[in-house]
Amino acid sequence: MTEVGNMRLLQGMLNGAREVISKKDELNRINVFPVADGDTGSNLASLMQAIIDNVAQKDYSTKELLDEVASAALIGARGNSGMIFAQYLNAVAESYHHLESTVEELVQAFQKAVNKAYEALLDPKEGTILSVMSAWSEALAENYTKEKSLHHSLLNAQEVAEKALANTQFQMPILKKNRLVDSGAKGFYYFIVGLTNAYCEKVAVISEMVEDAQEPIEHVETSKPLYRYCSEFIIKSPTATKQTIQTVLATKGDSLVIVGNEGQIKLHIHTNEPKEVLNLLAKYGTMTYQKVDDMRLQYDVTKKPRAKTAIVTDSIADLPEEFLLTHQIHVLPMNILAEDESFLDKLTVGPTMIKEKMMQQVKMSTAQPTIRSVDALLSFLENKYEQVLIITVSAKLSGTYQLIKQRIKQKNLASDWIHVIDSRLNSVAEGLLVKQAVELVEAGRTFEEITRQIEQTAKRSFIYVAVADLSPMVESGRIPRFLGKIAQKLSLFPIVSLDENGEGKLIGVSFSQNQSMKKIIKKVTKLHQEDQLKELAVTHVSSADMANDWGKQLQKLTGQLSYIVDSSAAIAISAGIGSVAVAGIKKEETI
């Protein structure tokens, strides 16, 4: 039996991964199926980076190497093509049973894995990554049967894959209309090119057939996504089969892909109801990972960008959902931790679920966005905007600001392209600051003017919170524990704000939440009477009726109220159920 040459195979796979990463921008540009959201390159690059980061360069048996690559692929898999690719690599590992390293078994494993990749999809389509995967695997097996040379078989199979890739532009109407090959299929082809070049010690050559006509025509014809959210979940120790989960989710969206094994499964679906999908999946195991991307926003930014400057914030900034989408604001979701489970603020969890878990006395906390989510967003924003302004929740309340700064430094992103502002605010006050930034961007102000004015405006912003229960703020450290304990002992209802550094502070107490709101309205009304009030907004945690009543009073007394909005789950955890907050911006002082 012929041995594989595991070190050469490892170098081949790592080289294939690097080849895909180097072609990320091109793959994003030609991404029109299943949704023209311009992120297939970024998604495949995420998978490939996970392989590079998690597969050590050391001696492996073939089985060990395939298992390591499969495990890493599952970690980094994102998007439709990324999930299919990860399923294929996992199926290759599952199909390779020999302890010794034999080329025959390896070639058969590549061939057997194709069917499992097709089975991962509820509705597999030709003209996609599957077609090139199938053509390459079949050609590899067929050629090896004849020649018994992995070297020659890889070279031959690459030529077959190249032709299959070129053919994808005729297999699907959207690709034919735009004279493009499938982006995911081309990503797989680039991986094969990198693998083959390294394994065969060959100088990289990309055929003219592949390069020709691959720049998209000036006006790519696509339609808006049928479903808004690209959602992914990892379930630990699943209690249901992939087929059962496929059946349960069949009516909840499309592009359903399920990969993994008995230990954990990773699921991808395009849906309008990520919270509902999560609720359905929750009964089948422990949810350890979630990722939800707004494909509608990505599509709008790619097809009809509203501005040359991107505005980014985190999910603690409370703004109406429609405003976020209309003005193309990018939001990094905070992580909500509930014992062993993890959720995404405003995407897969809201105040209603938080209220239920609080009643069940489930211990909950918040965490900053993941490194992967920050990197993915930065990757998407590159080449789409001339500048990027990021406005974060107060650095005194979260590590989000420092995390983003660190990732920008790690990626060597230019300071004249991206700027991060610590708002020293949270909740609806942070939301109003983001709204001001949007208005400046859409008014055509320069990047320098926008950043300067937003930093100044942040200093003139305020928030007053009428807390219904002080316990969450005391436990989370948002206000000093000794002051909180005194207020609790005396059955007082506090009014909480933020100081100039963005830390929580107790600014008053009342004998009821109703009295607290009256004091807040008195403060705000005084600002209006002194002609200092520029803008107002209200948020609440599962207290819509109360918020609407106070909102009407504020509108009547000041003539100003931009919006009333549900607060984030992160605020629900720190401020408590029933809290109501009023935030505003003061006018600039005139000399």
> pLDDT of 320-348, one tens digit each?
999 999 999 999 999 888 877 788 999 99
Type of residue found at 566: D
Q: What is the pLDDT of residues 374-424, one digit of tens each?
A: 988 998 898 889 999 999 999 999 989 999 999 999 889 999 999 999 999
Q: How far is CA 393 from the centre of its chain?
A: 18
Distance, CA of 344 to CA of 334 (rounded, Å):
6
Residue of 474, 498, 472, 499 lying closest to 486 (CA atoms): 474
Quick: pLDDT tens for 105-143. 999 999 999 998 888 777 788 989 999 999 999 999 999
Q: What is the model's pLDDT at position 460?
A: 96
Please write the tens of the pLDDT for every residue from 203-226.
Answer: 544 554 455 444 444 445 567 889
pLDDT at 54: 87
DSSP bridge pairs for 364: 338
Q: How far apart are the first and last CA of the chain?
A: 88
Give the number of other Cβ atoms within 10 Å of residue 530's Cβ.
Answer: 10
Span 65-93, pLDDT tens digits:
999 999 888 878 878 888 899 989 999 99
Residue 390 CA to residue 417 CA, distance in Å, equals: 11
Q: Give the global pTM.
A: 0.74
Q: Is it true that the peptide bond before 333 is cis, omega within 30 degrees of 0?
A: no
CA angle 575, 405, 27 (to 5 degrees): 110
- CATH number for the segment(s) 461-586: 3.30.1180.10
Q: Is 392 exposed, middle or buried (0-12, 13-18, 19+ CB in 10 A)?
A: buried
Residue ranges covered by each domain of the chain:
6-211, 461-586
Q: Which residues pair with 145 in a beta bridge?
A: none
Q: Select the CATH number that applies to the domain covering 6-211 from these four: 3.40.1190.20, 3.30.70.890, 3.40.190.80, 1.25.40.340.
A: 1.25.40.340
What is the model's pLDDT at position 341? 78
